[in-house]
Structure 1
Amino acid sequence: MKCPYCSAPDSKVVNSRPSDEGASIRRRRECLSCARRFTTYERAQLEPLMVVKRSGPREAFNPDKLLRGLTLATEKRPVDPDVLRAFAYGFEDDVQLGEIPSTEIGRRAMTFLRPLDGVAYIRFASVYREFDSLERFIEEIQGLKDKEEGDETA
């Protein structure tokens, strides 16, 4: 495994254990050149989940891309990064189809973020739903506020 710090080609496995409820293996590695440690995740890949983009083309699902979007939405928010990672890397396991529309990925991410953090939800929604007006943005915030108030009275 190539070291992410010095790009040396060799590293040794220091620790190995199951992760994501046995769906992957977490390996703690040490670079043989610079002696820095890093973590890798290994998982079996059967058939890649294909994402159907809005404009029509298909591409393989990339959990790093989903994680990047979730991380941006939760930046400087009290959200555990491990929860985001578990969602992004477990996403493919939850989908039983061979392909999924990108809009469905966005919808599921919003459903995941909504109870986790309202601000992160609005940040993600503003990009995903491509708000074209201030009124649409305010409607989304009001819907979130109404949902929270409904939860408090229940």
Structure 2
Amino acid sequence: MAQVNIGDSRVIESREVSDGVTIRRRRESPDGKRFTTYERIEKPNLAVIKKNGTRTLFDREKLSIAVKRSVGKFFDSEVEVEEMIDEIEDGVYALGENEVTSKQIGDKVLDELVRRNEVAYVRFASVYQDFKTLDDFVKILEQRKQANEQKKAA
């Protein structure tokens, strides 16, 4: 197969692929041959500052594992969970910082979970906020109950 200089080609059509980070382009070379290229949007490196002060690169897979562990079987599909992880990741990058704390990431997870599934929210919060006693669970359940009552009253 002959190599074509992409810079010499013209774009005929561009479409975003369903994953939201890949662009499919149909191109035409100067000699009239058509071909397809795929471009992936590259996100910048993002450092995560952990509780102990160490830094590590943001890892979507680690985020995914933590979220999936907390949500268990409380969601209808894997697609719904992946959409939620996409929202969390987008929220973290939307902070516009080169470094974020693990607390900021955990807060984004809690924000998404509280909107989507309160039981998964409580499960994640129990680990994230390091619950030690039953009173910790009672406290968060009372907070959720009050929030729901305020929502109904509004």
Q: Normalization by structure 2: what TM-score?
A: 0.70
Shift of 1:17: 4.4
On the 8 A contact 1:73/1:123 being kept in 2, the answer is: yes
1:62 to 59, 79, 100: 59
State the partner residue of 1:43: 41
Q: Normalization by structure 1: what TM-score?
A: 0.70
Shift of 1:20: 5.8
Q: What is the root-mean-square deviation in Å for CA atoms of aligned residues?
A: 2.3
Q: Secondary structure at the match of 1:55?
A: coil
State the partner residue of 2:110: 110
State the partner residue of 1:36: none
Large movers: runs of 4+ above 4 Å = none
- Counterpart CA distance in 1 for 2:141 and 2:134 is 11
State the partner residue of 1:96: 96
Aligned positions of 1:114-133 closer than 5 A: 114-133=114-133
State the partner residue of 2:9: none
- Counterpart CA distance in 1 for 2:89 and 2:42 is 12
- Counterpart CA distance in 2 for 1:137 and 1:94 is 31
Q: Which amino acid aligns with 1:118?
A: E
Q: Secondary structure at the match of 1:54?
A: coil
Shift of 1:84: 2.1
Shift of 1:143: 0.3
Q: Does structure 1 residue 146 correspond to structure 2 residue 146?
A: yes
- Counterpart CA distance in 1 for 2:111 and 2:43 is 26
Q: Which amino acid aligns with 2:66?
A: G
> Structure 2 stretches of 5 or more lacking a match?
1-14, 25-38
- Number of matched pairs: 123
Shift of 1:67: 1.5
- Counterpart CA distance in 1 for 2:69 and 2:23 is 24
CA distance 1:136–1:85, shift in 2 (3 Å): closer
On the 8 A contact 1:64/1:88 being kept in 2, the answer is: no
**Which structure has the greater CA radius of gyration?**
2
Q: Which amino acid aligns with 1:149?
A: E
CA distance 1:85–1:104, shift in 2 (3 Å): closer
On the 8 A contact 2:49/2:55 being kept in 1, the answer is: yes
**CA deviations over 1:106-148 (Å, ceiling 9, x no partner):** 1111111111110010001001000111111110111011101
State the partner residue of 2:50: 53
- Counterpart CA distance in 2 for 1:26 and 1:147 is 41
